[in-house]
Structure formats: structure tokens, C-alpha cells
Amino acid sequence: MERTHPRSRRLAGALALVALTLALGACLPPAGTRPLESTPTPAGCITDVGPAPRLVFGGCGGDVTYNVSVPARCLTHACGLILDVHGWTMTGDQQDANTQIAAIGGVAGYIVVQPNAPGSVPSWSGTHYPLVAAFVELAIDVWHVEERRVHVTGFSQGGAMTNWMRCNRADLFASAAPTAMAGAACADGTNMPTLYIQGLDDIFIPQSAIDATIASFVDRHGLDRQLTLLDEGGITVTAYGSSTPGVPIYQTVIHSHSSEGVNGHCILGSPDPANFYGCDQPTEWTHGRLVVDFFRWNPKPA
């Protein structure tokens, strides 16, 4: 059985309470527990349904390839799906080495998709965003994914893609977790539960952009309730909600951890601190755990 630190359990309980309070009507059986009515079968560029800790698919458009983690239970039960997008110069493997979302999400009943950007120096552009969304739609169909438990997260350039998905594909995703990338609330008012993870002293994201990002959500969605859930070890977790029923939760994780070369532009609690983008300081509040737990508690309302 998985062991968690007592403080982790207390934070988990607090976050779950906030999610239940601010996302009424989102009740849904846990991912990977509802039996499937039919067996997943390959289709399109998805040529193998697993199970496997890492399948790789190409030929799906735009020279993007996809690492896909498929737990065994997802062949017999409806799992959720997490799209986890790497940043500039990175790969899907490097993203997972820092987030460990494939393993953490797998235990929680999620298929995890980690795309690889093309180029000798991997880089995402806006032309890739709809292609990645189309692959997620194909994966949902192939593995008969629970459509209320489809989520998106990404680091740096992957955070920019996450913000695009949040505003342009709210039909597809239940909640989002952009990391190390500023991004205002959607101009058209589109909203979903959002977790914003951001390091201070980020060489790419100034404090003014961090403040503006948070203020845009608070102001645009009338978030008049604020609760600090954690403030220790250089990490502050804050939940913002509204007295108006049905307004999705907005949550921030602001930290002072850093990595040599990019300062606060790093992945919190990375088990691979030698990696350029992994924060150097150890912590029990790891990026992967925070993100997967947020997704577990924030499915799409019925």
C-alpha cells in the first residue's frame, strides 16, 4: 500500500474538501473502476493498445510522436487520461523523468500521453496544438476513456499549450495545470478548474507576469474567497473560489525552489535534479503528486 507523509494526507484532505465545496455536482466514480462494455482496439496511428509502461506512436501528423503509458486495468475498465506536455529542448521522456506522472497517474487509473515535439532542438508551435488535441481524441476513442476525466498539464512551452487547450478545447478537457508559464484567464470567459504551478525568480517569467496571471482569474471570474492550504518549505498553496455556486476552483502553487541555470523555471520536487529543468531542492510536495491529485478531484461536472 502506498504510504504518504501525515502532512501530505492533511493537505490532500484540505484540497479534496475545497474541490468538493467548489465543484458541486462533479461526483464520479474513481478512474479505472467502471467496467468497459467493449475491448480497446487499435485505430489510426495507434497501432497497439498495450498494456505497457511506454508505447510510442508516430505518423499522427506534424512529425509529433507520442509516448503513451497504459495500465493493465485500462483494457477492462474506463480509465481517465492525462496529457503531460514537455517544454522547449525537452522530450516526453525527460518530462516524465521530472514529473513521474506516468507512474503516479497509472496508479490512480489514468492513461498518460506525453508527446514529443519535432526538431533537432524540440520546440512546440501553435500549429502543433490542434494536432495534439486530435491525438487525445483518438486515444479517448481507442481506449474508451472516461470523457469526464481527461486533463491537460505542461511545463514551460508545454504550459503555453496547456493554456491554449484550456481556452480553446474546454469541450475536451475537464481541468488544466499549466506550469512555469504565465497565462491569463480566457478572454471569452471559458473556465475550468485550473492549477497554476510557478517558481519565483523564473528567468523567463517575471513577477509582474505571475501577479497578472493570478489577478486575471480572480478578477474575471469573481473569485472572492481565498484559502492558504500550505505555506512551508518555500512552497505556498492557495485556493481561490467564488461565493457564486458553480464557479470552478483556481489554485496556485508558488515556490522558491530553483535549478542552476534557469532558477525558478524548474519542476518542483523532481527526482532527477541533475536534469537541467528539475528543481534542486528535495520536497515531499512533488509536482506529479500535486497535479494528479488535483485532476482526481476535478473531473468535468455532469
Question: pLDDT tens digits, residue range 221-253?
Answer: 999 999 999 999 999 999 999 999 999 999 999
- Close Cβ partners of 288 (under 8 Å, ≥ 6 residues apart): 99, 100, 101, 103, 104, 105, 269
**Kind of pairing between the strands at 175-179 and 110-116:** unpaired
What is the structure's pLDDT at 74? 98
Residue 18 domain flag? no
Comparing 207 with 274, which gets the higher pLDDT?
A: 207
Which residue in 68, 91, 85 sits closest to 142, CA to CA? 68
Within-domain flag for 24: no
Q: How confident is the model at residue 276 (pLDDT cuts 50, 70, 90)?
A: confident
Q: Which domain holds residue 216?
A: 31-297
Task: Count how many domains the chain has.
Answer: 1
pLDDT at 175: 98
pLDDT higher than 90, residue 272: no
Q: What is the mean pLDDT of residues 196-200?
A: 97
Stated pTM of the model: 0.92
Nearest to 80 by CA among 114, 110, 105, 36: 110
Q: What is the DSSP letter of 36?
A: P
Segment among 20-29, 167-176, 208-217 with least mean pLDDT: 20-29
Q: Mean per-residue pLDDT for 243-271?
A: 94
Asked if residue 14 belongs to a domain, the reply is: no
**pLDDT for the residue numbered 5:** 47
The average pLDDT across 251-273 equals 92
Look at residue 18 in the predicted model and tell me its pLDDT: 52
Q: Which strand ranges, in their side-by-side order, compose the sheet holding 65-70?
A: 52-57, 65-70, 110-116, 80-85, 150-155, 175-179, 194-199, 250-255, 235-241, 225-232
Q: Which residues make beta-bridge pairs with 238?
A: 228, 252
Q: Report if residue 12 sits inside a domain.
A: no
pLDDT tens by residue, 86-116: 999 999 999 999 999 999 999 999 999 999 9
Give the pLDDT confidence score for residue 3 in this predicted structure: 42
Instruction: Say which range, 80-94, 122-136, 275-289, has the weakest mean pLDDT.
Output: 275-289
Residue environment code for 113-129, b if the CB has 16+ CB neighbours within 10 A, otherwise e: bbbbbeeeebebeeebb
What is the CATH classification number for the domain harbouring 128?
A: 3.40.50.1820
Give a yes or no: residue 16 inside a domain: no
CA dihedral 136, 193, 275, 201 (to 10 degrees): 140
* Cα of 64 vs its chain's centroid, Å: 19
In a domain, 22, yes or no: no
Task: Give pLDDT, residue 261.
Answer: 85
